[in-house]
Every structure is written in structure tokens, then in C-alpha cells.
Amino acid sequence: MTITHPQGFEAAGIAAGIKRTGALDLALVVNRGPAQQAAAVFTSNRAQANPIIWSRQVAADGIVSAIVLNSGGANCFTGPEGFQVTHRTAEAAASGLGVAAGDVLVCSTGLIGDQLDGEVLEEGVVSAIARLSSDDGGGDDAARAIMTTDTTPKQVVVVGDGWSIGGMAKGAGMLAPGLATMLVVVTTDAALSAADLDSALRAATRVTFDRLDSDGCMSTNDQVTLLASGASDVAPEPTEFAAALTEACRSLAMQLQADAEGASHDIAIEVVGAVTEDDAVEVGRSVARNNLFKAAIFGNDPNWGRVLAAIGTTSAPFDPYLVDVSMNGVRVCHAGRPDAPRDDVDLTPRATHVLIELHAGEASATIFTNDLTHDYVHENSAYAS
């Protein structure tokens, strides 16, 4: 169940000494080919970390040989020295692997504003190259090495007809569109062009990671990378591959949601009857980012009034006095008025479903979020200590 399941990939995860705890903190994933096709999507935050700036340039030609990922420091707002650390990391990987530095992606995650030690990263890359493995152990170590406040690694494998997809992700906070402090690496041994990979990846992230809005806070370091080795020598139909990729991304996104910092409820906000899909997304997002609603769910309170108040702030066309709201299968609001008693709603399970029926059109979308808890506030106030 790791990124090394597809043929042609090796991975490693080591303790390079970036984290003071001595935990695994540097991962390396290498595409041994025969092809090195790739695609990537990045955070839309205007404040972007040095690895994002570097990796945008690397990914532009659709050729990637390897990716280095570190936890323990975001390398964001660290000036020219920070960019040199990123460059130095890529050069170390390139030298040890016999590839071009311009074909090595770099990702970082952790605290913003802390300068990373280039020598530690360089030595870590050398150690990781020596530990590269195509078995599950290497992939599992890599998935653990990119964790920050995560409590568990996130991994997935989807098997196609003669080809497969593997993936790993990290993220437990700052999960919001613009991708979500989220790093994702997906591998496949399918034989596809960079253009096909790019199309499939953008379609998959649009309905998975971009719909995950845990706390409304957009990261500076988000990156989702798709690497294809072509080692299976099988070229699936693009639509078939896109469906499998979406399945893999959805699994990883749901694992991210389930591990969100301090959360006690995983909330799916389903919006139906919108004029357009974008309208449905806007409506769902307005509820997902409403702290009063999220606090009510934490208290097991089906306060549907906070749902209507939140969607009333959007520009989506609908009549607020025709809206229905259901929570965990109980319609508590019908046509903008009370319906079933609130006591009929059981919000004690972790899984929470909110259905908003706008009665304005035929489009729909689902946004995934979490409740707002005491533990979330504590974890994010004590994160740097």
C-alpha cells in the first residue's frame, strides 16, 4: 500500500536531523523509468515557499526524475538563502542519482520563517539515496518522514488492468483550497504523456483536495505531484486513468480530513439544487468556513440557523426562504422554516452529513470539513513550542 507499488519507483525515509525529536524527516522518491513523465499542481497562495518557486520551474517541462521532501521546516519567507538551500537539495539529489538538478522537485513542510540547514539537508539526501528501496518498507518510511502534526501516515494503492497507482500524503492543519499544509506524491507505472497526466491530475484535484476545507487556512507549501514511469508498458484510456486517479486522490483527501488537528467530527456538506457547480461549491464553502456552525457541530447542536446565515453571505442565486437543510438524515429546516425537532438529530457519531437543498437548479457539490474544537485551538497555539 505504498508509492513503490507501481513498477519503476524507489523510495526512502530517514532521520536527517531536521527535527529536534530525531524522528524521520526527509523522504526521497525516485522514478527509475523508463519514462520520467510528470505533472504537478501547486498552492494558489500568493505567499509561496522557496520549494514551490523551484518546483514550478522544474515541473514546467513535464519531466521529473526524483522528488525530495522534508518535514521540520517550511523554508518559506527565508530569503535568498532559503532558495539556495532548496537549490542545494536538488543538486545533492541530482549528483547522487546521476540526473539533472532541473529534473528534481523539492517540497518542504513545517514552521514558516525558520531557516533550514543546507548541509543537514545535503547529507540527508546522500543518506536517503543509500537507503532507496522498491519494497513497501521504503515507501512507508517516506510517508512517515513527511509527517508534521499528522498522527498517522496517509497512503493508497489503486490497481488497474496491468498498471497501478500509489500515493502518499501529509496534512493535518491548514487544509483549505489552494490545495490544502498538504504534500502529496502519486506514482503510476502507466504509460501516459505529461499532457495526459496534467489533465487527469487537475480533474482529480478539482473534486478531491480542492473540496477539502478543514479550517479555511491556505498553506504556502501545498503541492500535489504525479509521476509516471511507464514501466508497465500499458497505456490505459485517459478517462479510465483519470477515474482511478480521482479514486486515489479521494482516498488520500478523506485520510487527511480524518486526521485534521483536534477534530471530533468529519463533516460532509452536500449542496444540491444549485444553478451551477461553482455556486454549489461557494455555498458549501461558506458553511465549512463558518466558525459558529463548526462550533455548534462540536457541541452536537444541529443549529441549522447558522447554516442559513452562512449561505446568505454568498453570491449564489437562490431564495433563502425555499432552502431545506438536513443533518444526518433529519430535515430540520424546510422552506426556510423549522421542520423536524432538533432532538431528532444524532450528532454523536464522528461522521456528519449536512444536506443543503437550494431548489434553484440541477448542479451539486460536496465540501469536506471538520468541527472547531478546544484541541484544535490548543494544538495550533502550542505548535511552535
Render pLDDT for 247-260 as a digit per residue (tens, 0 to 9).
Answer: 999 999 999 988 87
Q: pLDDT, tens digit, for every residue of 137-167?
A: 999 999 999 998 888 999 999 999 999 999 9
The CA distance from 32 to 8, in Å, is 5
272 CA to centre of own chain: 25
- 266-381 matches 9-258 in CATH topology: no
- pTM of the complete model: 0.90
| Total Cβ atoms within 10 A of residue 186 | 28
Specify the pLDDT at position 385: 43
79 CA to centre of own chain: 26
Of 181, 205, 208, 220, the active-site residue reads 181
The CATH number corresponding to 266-381 among 3.10.20.340, 1.25.40.10, 3.40.50.360, 1.10.10.60 equals 3.10.20.340
Exposed e or buried b per residue across 63-96, where buried means at least 16 C-beta atoms within 10 angstroms of its C-beta: bbbbbbbbbbbbbbebeeebbebbbbbbebbbeb
The CA distance from 29 to 13, in Å, is 9
Mean pLDDT of the chain: 92
* Domain extent listing, the chain: 9-258, 266-381
- pLDDT-derived band at 126 (thresholds 50, 70, 90) equals very high
Specify the pLDDT at position 224: 94
The yes-or-no answer on residue 89 being catalytic is no
Specify the pLDDT at position 292: 93
CATH classification of 9-258 is 3.40.50.970, yes or no?
no
The CA distance from 7 to 1, in Å, is 13
